[in-house]
A and B are shown apart, each in its own frame.
Chain A
């Protein structure tokens, strides 16, 4: 009779079986799961190695045949095309392709960061409205969620861009030549006066940072006092007053050293001012509205996951309803909310690549789109683009994992 062996996970069985102690095991080579596992893995690895090798080989041959250049030398070539929005990175048509990459990267990060922030805020509001005791508010929240999460994101982007923002009147229809414009929404985007700091404005910044430090010190003191005596301190209002009020007072006292320079209407377009391009607005609107509908459901599920006993116990302890939400329910709900929230943030970041459909100059649109078309170096460009998205994914999930480990339940 052959010895009884567990078919898998048999490491334990092998070690414990008397046969392995001294006598040679009476198991044939193929029936030993450990050895079999090694063989399987060797086979899988060699198949994949062959696969990767043949892909690399084919690509090299194909590129040679088609006369495609390879290497990253193209990055220092002048790009020769204009980009409609280049925040933080100085860019002209003479700039090289690496600058194009940086411009795209910055634009992607901007849309992703702002999008995540707004989507989180809107999602929380809608998620809480979804649980509201107010019948009408609850129904509107349900309508919002069910409407927007069941319509493709690309459709929403195209809708906001070509059906809402593009048909807006142009600047020429709205303003006369020479007119000074402080705020305008037209088919060229949102334009408002540019704030220009005059000498002395830096004091406002100093006060602002000083106020933050003072608030932090007061918070430490207030916490220590509450631990000792149980007395509470209206930290929120004091902090708000300090951080908003103190710079405001400095601003007024130093003689309001901030000018708003309006845009001026030339014959065809508005000159100067700060412009937010319609592509950005359309993409942001669509991403925020779409993602918020998912976040709202996550928030609702998270709050509902907190056992009702917690709320009842908090009430029984005499905790105020507002504190009950803030100190008892939300911290526990966050444990349920954070992991799926992370994947929503990742989705939003990846979905920002749909910018290419309306030509907002994000990484995908200017680098994997225009640059790839001009240089034809598909392999290098796609590798760089994918590396960026993978890194952003890893960074976001790394940050959210850190946050999650900070708030998660400490068990035994």
Chain B
């Protein structure tokens, strides 16, 4: 029976081998990669070729100017001879001023110590597995600012000669303004964020007005107010240092942005956390301190870092009120007649751009990294 079946269907069963199928289109290696990623379709090919030409046109000349054709040694004469390359000797001969401003030469070790502590503190806090992080955070946010003030400004009792703030400048001043702005704005921002979400109508209204006012005006206006209006607001006889006024302005400005960042974090905490804390009978501040804020602040770390990046870049605006931060001091050095060479302004700007870029980009990468770590949802 079975045999019969086989024979009757034998015409439908293939006896020999089928001819080989064509090989699959290669998906490995450079050629296919170029085809899939650069030349899939006419439109993409045109895009690829035109952007390749763009790169070909800009990249070699940029690299030549920055590195290969640049002047790396010699004085201003070397730059005068070669105007078609960056004049890095200009930065080389001025780097101390760019870093320390007009700070007394004999007292610059004080800044060096502070920079070293700052570097250690930042690495400590950014490094995840570091021990005693809470202690370190407390040190960096509370003790270090006070310590730095006495180190920078000086104190007779400690035997450190006083260095007046008009002598501060350069990258140090940039750091002073940005760091004190962020350290002061963090607690203020938290209070404002809590105020805005408060059930007390008046407090929430006042916080909202404060936040929206500072967010609605440009930082230049804040700095102008700090220089021109601030002395009018104070009782006669009371004067404030110009730098301190600018820092207060920057801190108030930053606190409004910080408040919005923190508010985002507070809103992201599920209501059950609040209700749970209340059910346990925790008073408001204990609930905030022990339950809500630790969670909320953790998820807004990227936001805080981003606010800091914005603030860090915005410190350059102080040059408008005649404080010499990094950009201000480079701008002033460019005008030096000894260095009136065609390539010097470009070099100066390029140098400031590189410094800011490195700082901001590394902070942005860190914030991205934290964000990715916190973001455990579905990703594609």
Contact = CB atoms under 8 A, between A and B. Distances in A.
The 8 closest A-B pairs by CB, nearest first: A150-B360, A350-B218, A393-B216, A135-B37, A353-B218, A152-B313, A41-B202, A152-B316
Contacts of B317: 154, 354
A55 interface: yes
A283 to B, nearest CB: 13
B12 interface: no
Interface in B348-372: 349, 352-353, 356-357, 360-361, 364
A61 B236 contact: yes
Interface in A26-84: 37, 40-41, 44-45, 48, 54-55, 58-59, 61-63, 65
B232 A389 contact: no
Interface centre among A58, A158, A163 (most CB of B within 10 A): A158
Given A7-B287, A386-B221, 17 more contacts: A41-B203, A45-B202, A48-B206, A59-B232, A134-B47, A135-B37, A136-B51, A136-B52, A140-B55, A150-B360, A151-B353, A155-B349, A155-B352, A354-B317, A354-B320, A382-B224, A382-B228
A379 B316 contact: no
B327 interface: yes
B61 interface: no
A146 B232 contact: no
Interface in A247-284: none
A308 B378 CA distance: 11
B57 interface: no
A372 interface: yes
Contacts of A146: 361, 364
Contacts of B95: none
B314 interface: yes
B302 to A, nearest CB: 13
Contacts of A382: 221, 224-225, 228-229
A368 B316 CA distance: 19
Nearest to A355: B220
B51 A140 contact: yes
B18 interface: no
B192 to A, nearest CB: 13
Contact of B216 (A58, A158, A159, A394): A394
Contacts of B284: 7-8
A43 to B, nearest CB: 10
A149 B48 CA distance: 24
A6 interface: yes
10 contacts: A8-B278, A9-B278, A45-B206, A62-B232, A154-B316, A350-B216, A350-B218, A364-B218, A382-B229, A389-B218
Contacts of A313: none
Contacts of A133: 37, 40, 44
B376 interface: no
B204 to A, nearest CB: 10
Contacts of B380: 304, 308
B319 interface: yes
Given A55-B233, A61-B236, A155-B349, A136 B216 contact: no
Interface of A: 4, 6-9, 37, 40-41, 44-45, 48, 54-55, 58-59, 61-63, 65, 132-137, 140, 146-147, 149-155, 158-159, 162-163, 167, 304, 308, 346, 350-351, 353-354, 356-357, 364, 368, 372, 378-379, 382, 385-386, 389-390, 393-394
Contacts of A153: 313
Given A58-B235, A364-B221, A155 B206 contact: no
B320 A357 contact: yes
Nearest to B43: A134
Interface residues of B, number: 61
Given A163-B345, A389-B216, A368 B224 contact: yes
Contact of B233 (A58, A152, A158, A357): A58
Nearest to A153: B313
Contact of B221 (A55, A304, A353): A353
Nearest to A354: B220
Contacts of A40: 200, 203
Interface string B38-78: 10100010011001101100000000000000000000000
A8 B229 contact: no
B48 A8 contact: no
Given A8-B199, A41-B200, A150 B356 contact: yes
A208 B4 CA distance: 86
Contacts of B314: 152
Contacts of A65: 236
A136 B220 CA distance: 39
Interface in B322-361: 327, 331, 342, 345-346, 349, 352-353, 356-357, 360-361
B217 A378 contact: no
A134 B229 contact: no
A150 B364 contact: yes
Contacts of B353: 151, 155, 159
B278 A7 contact: yes
A58 B234 CA distance: 6
A7 B282 contact: yes
B213 interface: yes
B37 A134 contact: yes
B232 A379 contact: yes
A61 B233 CA distance: 9
Contacts of A59: 232-233
Contacts of B232: 58-59, 62-63, 378-379
B307 to A, nearest CB: 12
B16 interface: no
Contacts of B121: none
B272 interface: no
Contacts of B40: 133
Nearest to A159: B349
B147 to A, nearest CB: 28
A189 to B, nearest CB: 20
Contacts of B229: 378-379, 382
